[in-house]
Structure 1
Amino acid sequence: MSQDKSYFFCGIGGSGMLPLASIVRARGHAVAGSDRSLDQGRTPAKFDFLKEMGIPLFPQDGSGITSAAQILVTSAAVEDTVPDVQAALRIGASRSSRAGLLAELVNAAPLSIAVGGTSGKSTVTGMIGWILHRAGRRPTVMNGAVMKNFMTPDAPFASALVGGEDIFVSEVDESDGSIALYEPTVAVLNNISLDHKSMDELHMLFANFVGRAQVAVINLDNAESATLARETHPGRIISYGFAHDASLVGSALTERPDGVDFHVTDRSNGDSVDVHLAVPGRHNASNALAAIGAALACGLSLGEAAAALAAFTGLRRRFERVGTAGGVTVIDDFGHNPDKIAATLATLHAFPGRLRVYFQPHGYGPLRQMKAELIACFVDNLRDGDALILSDPVFYGGTVNREVGSDAIVAGVAAGGRQAEHIPARPDCGDRLVALARPGDRIVVMGARDDTLSTFAADILRRLG
């Protein structure tokens, strides 16, 4: 990445754009941007943070694109009809995808760790970044979620950690196929399950991702990723899991309401250590094993990794406890595909209390792709006495097929014998959640691609008090 370039990020407030813009700005490049949410007055604190970093912000009307020397950076969600894109075409400014720019940074680093998989990418990326940071390795970390360990009053949106240029840690996305751009030193594969693409497409993408890395850290507890492990040369793999044939084996797992404890053994040398996490759930024990595997691939010891993980405080919107009022606990969570939702519900059901689950689908496309799997997920993971409420999917404009909506998911869940309601407008869902809640209940707010869900969860807590 040569110096003295000028980048304009269209959609700069997005979860994958803000941290990338922060890193590019810190490396000495000129950065500006626009965002539809800024124009709509949504999440103003995030944009104030960007301005305080010295990043000029413009309306998303093309007015920020003023020179052919600028490079317009867009995510896959930005359509060609957006005024910024039209302005770049008129003026002759070049264009880069968000993933293409990130891949350029990842592939240029002497040591790069790319974290892939359907679920858990952000948490594992945060864990690896924290382990390397605690070890004094000065990593640069690109995450799709705010990492609580790196939050400060001056950096409330710490989804990026700007360190040196020798180590780059990043989650990488398979949903748009851009995972094919990365050639990491270490590839971490958490799991493979249905999300945005068919299983055949996912298998091919992840097989190639693992094949391009020097070392692959692969989960044997997931059947699909275990299949890829068997197809990969054993000399290139650090396998992990609670399966006994993994090279990094977890055992003696004990769940706590505020964390999870387990033992890990490195079968390559016999080293072992107890791990104590301050984030709950069996899925986070698996995430920790992935992070430990990546740390070992970077030359750290098992003890160093475990000690750092004990101080890992998690990510925003990943099973984040908002608070308790009137005997009801409110949790804000990113769950939006069957695997993520199932993991959150299993963590909650490890302890007593009814669930009042609010789910805002993150688009009509995912509902169409995952209709049957979402219905099965809720039927299998909700219990008698639980209640599920779905609003209409999040929608910010553009062309979309609305053939499958939230009402179809609710009908399927109800047919499976679970209590489920479709209430189109989110404010009305909030009213219903508050009306249903009783002392001892847990309300969990689930969904992706909408930062205002955290505000919604906080407002429910306020009303319960």
Structure 2
Amino acid sequence: MIDSPVFFSGIGGSGMLPLASIVRASGAKVAGSDRSLDAGRTPHKFDYLRSLGIQLYAQDGSGLQAGMTLVTSAAVEETVPDVVRAKELGLQHLTRPEYLAKLLNSAQRSVAIGGTSGKSTVTGMIGWILHACHRQPTVMNGAVMKNFVTPSAPFASALVGDPELFVSEVDESDGSIALYRPEVAVLTNISLDHKEMEELRQLFAHFLNASRKAVLNLDDPETRALSATVPEDKVIGYGFDSPRADFMGKDLKLEAAGARFVVEAEGERHEVRLQVPGRHNASNALAAIAASRAIGVAVADAAAALERFEGLRRRLETVGTANGATVIDDFAHNPDKIAASLATLRALPGRLLIMFQ
């Protein structure tokens, strides 16, 4: 139970909006500010926040009151009036990851998903599996989960459910992944992105060892090497090419609009059909099945649920067709992610015209 009002400075951010909506749904009083609101940008986003009962203010410190907790995004500098005013009032000030860690670490059951690539999709898959299996999870994502979009919830980057079953992607870019102590830690892969490799190895090793169970992609060389730093009885491995994997993917067939494969686990075989394309998404699905099993979902139930997983916005998302051309939007923003997207697209028939923004 959140017992004090919370003010989110930078509330319109991709990591702040879902967190604010989760906190508001708990019954807490929530307010916020954002420079995009001040500039008149993305008004529909702020209308949605108001519809949740969240009061919005200019980012000038006027919304801060005694007794509040201030939560700031990485985009909010110490010189922003909200932060200055919070200091004047002596308010507790937490960063977004610090506040998220409080919620996740206090839950009875929790899954935290880390890695350079794939964590948003794996988070969405786990959230959907638990929802489809009537487990009522609370899910914190950095992307919109298409299964949960409704007219009243167009920004479905969060799913509000039982706060004691908390699923969240967690970020290593600012080192805050060290804050989390989940029941189940998932590590999809490690590659050069925001930090040097040795620092990434140390951060992810700490993350895995702070958990009770570690779900690891044994097909990824860096993640496989890191598994040696984790007690063997905590490790749950998955992969298509790794004989030691507890959750082994086989007979992968890539299709234009999805993929099919068989997962072998616990002496059983189950077919998995996906609506999302690409080998990388098949690997993501293995991660989600393994993590869901770690918190009690039968493999057969997880596999069946994934057949209805619709994917995330801006993850190889078909946005329409015009003059015989299919337009696809993708958020891939580092070399490995771009390579995975291009490999998936090149398997499709027809000519590719690719624009990088």
TM-score of the two chains, using structure 2 as the length reference: 0.97
AA of the residue aligned to 2:26? R
C-alpha distance in structure 2 between counterparts of 1:188 and 1:104, whole Å: 19
Letter in 2 for 1:283: H
Verify the 8 A CA contact 2:252 2:259 in the aligned structure 1: yes
Q: What one-letter code is carried by the residue in structure 2 that aligns with 1:37?
A: S
Deviation at 1:352, TM superposition (A): 2.9
Looking at both structures, which has the greater relative contact order when contacts are Cα pairs under 8 Å and sequence separation is at least 6?
2
- Residue 145 (structure 2) aligns with: 147
Match of 2:318 among 318, 321, 338: 321
AA aligned to 1:38 is L
Residue pair 1:272, 1:302 contacting (<8 A) in 2 also:
no
Within-5 A mapping of 1:264-283: 264-266=263-265, 269-283=266-280
Asked if 1:45 is matched to 2:36, the reply is no
Q: What is the root-mean-square deviation in Å for CA atoms of aligned residues?
A: 1.1
Question: Could you tell me how far apart the structure 1 residues matched to 2:325 and 2:36 are?
Answer: 31
Q: Which residue of 1 aligns with 2:233?
A: 235
Deviation string, structure 1 residues 179-205 (Cα, Å, up to 9, x no partner): 000000000000001111111110000
Residue matched to 1:448: none
Q: Gaps (5+ residues) in structure 2?
A: none
Alignment-derived partner of residue 27 in structure 1 = 26
For 2:35, the equivalent position in structure 1 comes to 36
Alignment of 1:218-367 (within 5 A): 218-243=216-241, 244-266=243-265, 269-360=266-357
Percent of aligned pairs with the same amino acid: 63
Contact 1:109 1:168 in 2 (8 A): yes
Q: Per-residue displacement from partner, 1:352-380 (whole Å, max 9, x unpaired)?
A: 333332323xxxxxxxxxxxxxxxxxxxx
Provide the TM-score with structure 1 as the length reference: 0.75
Distance 2:222 2:91 in 1: 42
SS of 2:31 mapped into structure 1: strand
Q: Deviations over 1:375-402 (max 9, x none)?
A: xxxxxxxxxxxxxxxxxxxxxxxxxxxx
5 Å-filtered alignment, 1:206-225, equals 206-225=204-223
Q: Tell me how far apart the structure 2 counterparts of residues 77 and 220 of structure 1 sit (CA, whole Å).
A: 35
Shift of 1:299: 1.3
Uncovered stretches (5+) of structure 1, i.e. residues with no partner: 361-465
- Deviations along 1:86-126, one digit per CA (max 9) or x if unpaired, are 22122322211111111011001111000000111111001
Aligned equivalents of 2:350 and 2:187: distance in 1? Answer: 34
In the aligned structure 1, how far is the partner of 2:343 from the partner of 2:2?
Answer: 48
Tell me the equivalent position of 2:192.
194
Secondary structure, in 3 states, of the residue corresponding to 1:358? coil
The one-letter code matched in structure 2 to 1:252 is: D
Give SS of 2:353's match.
strand
| Residue identity opposite 1:12 in structure 2 | I
> Structure 1 residue 46: deviation in Å?
1.0
Match in the other structure for 1:70 = 68
Summarize deviations over 1:268-308 as a string: whole Å, max 9, x none.
Answer: x2111110000111100000000000011011111000000
Q: Which amino acid aligns with 1:75?
A: S
Partner of 2:154: 156
The aligned length equals: 356
Residue identity matched to 1:344: S
Q: Which stretch shows the higher mean deviation, 276-285 or 330-339? A: 330-339
Structure with max Cα Rg: 1
